[in-house]
Amino acid sequence: MKVTKFGGTSVASAEQIRKVATIVADDVERKIVVVSAPGKRHSSDTKVTDLLIRLGETYLEKGYANEELEAVLRRYEEIAKGLELGQEIIDQIANDLHTRLTFNQSNPGAFMDQLKASGEDNNAKLIAAYLQTKGMNAVYVSPKEAGLLVSDEPGNAQVLPEAYDHLKKLRERDEMIVFPGFFGFSPDGALVTFPRGGSDITGAILAAGVKAELYENFTDVDSVFAANPNVVESPAQIRRMTYREMRELSYAGFSVFHDEALIPAFRQKIPVCVKNTNNPSSPGTMILAEREYFLNPVIGIAADKGFATIYVRKYLMNREIGFGRRLLQIIEDEGLSYEHIPSGIDDASVILRQEQLTDEIEHRILARIKEELCVDDVFVEKDFAMVMIVGEGMHNTVGISARATAALARAHVNIEMINQGSSEVSLVLGIHEKDADAAVRELYEEFFGGAEETVQ
């Protein structure tokens, strides 16, 4: 059995949904199909999820949102008519949206979850109806019916362990199951959505629940690339990579997956294949628990912007017991998470996402560090990028760091920070944001220049 997930661009129009139907019909093992809400049809288009967010926010503010509701319904009506479906499915979607708008607004987060989830839910119903017209034994199954139980945290649902016991029963069904991504239900019956990458998370949960042989994730690219195609011209395609490599690259800005989306599949060691809806014959990228890495110790290079550094200096810091704990406690008290903590004997830097630092929070943190830790100096620097060189084979390969620093020197990029985890799956280089693209291009040339079109 395969669990097959289709992203927003794959189900954005009638034309794309016809491709989906052909793909699932071509392989009888594709028994569970997870779908996103309709995405962008072209670069200037608006995703249905964004239309729903606009609808919900306007309704909460004004108590009505006729124009915004019409925009959502228009998208579904266009898809349904393009697939030659009858008025019944259009009316069903319209009634569903009107019902959701009557949901209790005293909890705005829960109200918005209801509306946002309708994108995937109604698209799953529409796609199931279309597959039936093509002679397939397809049926829509809701997360509630399937028992996809999650924590009651609007916008940040976490799957509950007992959900997997419920979901494994889907394996016994004869029909092709069309399942909406992005949301589940709390034990009390409340609809709750997942965080970023929600439909990918749903697919991974279902794959783990039914013990699928493969989790296929169809998107709009032939594979995962060794670098961002918007930065590096025609980067190599990655054929095989590990879960750890994918997580590191996703964290650093690779847009194929959110970095937490594959965790359920990873824990069950279920292979994941990234494929292209518009070119399904392409082999795609296989994401595995392990791979042979001797041919390519480095699998990819990525950069993510928007970091800030809290720099702290105190003479004899290394001899002061509890200094690091107290420093991080101040960060924790403000509800912030950190990314890296490179340090020396008399100084330390706490690197975190810059978006977390409001002026007020920054002022409080600096004041507390000065007062409570009696430091010699403390200040914040902003607008950093983290460049990551990723590969399972790096820990067995001599000279990776030397090659990386030499490449950045050639590009006249100053390195502000170097950090490498104990697993040596990635090497992190902190640089100024303005140098990020030049750094990625030079590092790509160093590790992949002259390479073939694919990385094994």
Binding site members = 5-8, 49, 120, 219-220
Between CA 268 and CA 210 the distance in angstroms is 10
Provide the 3-class DSSP secondary structure of residue 231.
coil
Between CA 33 and CA 206 the distance in angstroms is 10
Residues in contact with 312: Cβ distance below 8 Å, sequence separation at least 6, in sequence order:
327, 347, 348, 349, 350, 369, 373, 375, 377, 378
Q: Which residue has the tokens 């395969």?
A: 2
Q: Which residue has the tokens 């060189």?
A: 389
Phi, psi for 340 (deg, rounded to 5) = -145, 155
- Cβ proximity of 11 and 39 under 8 Å: yes
Residue list, annotated binding site for ATP: 5-8, 219-220
- Cβ proximity of 76 and 93 under 8 Å: yes
Q: Which residue has the tokens 């399972």?
A: 392
Percent helix, strand, coil in the chain, to 5, is: 45, 20, 35
Residue list, annotated binding site for substrate: 49, 120
Between CA 263 and CA 257 the distance in angstroms is 11
List Cα–Cα distances, 277 to 4, 14, 57, in angstroms. Answer: 11, 13, 33
Q: How far is CA 279 from the centre of its chain?
A: 22
Between CA 311 and CA 386 the distance in angstroms is 16
Q: From its phi and psi, is residue 322 left (phi > 0), alpha (psi between -120 and 50) or beta?
A: left
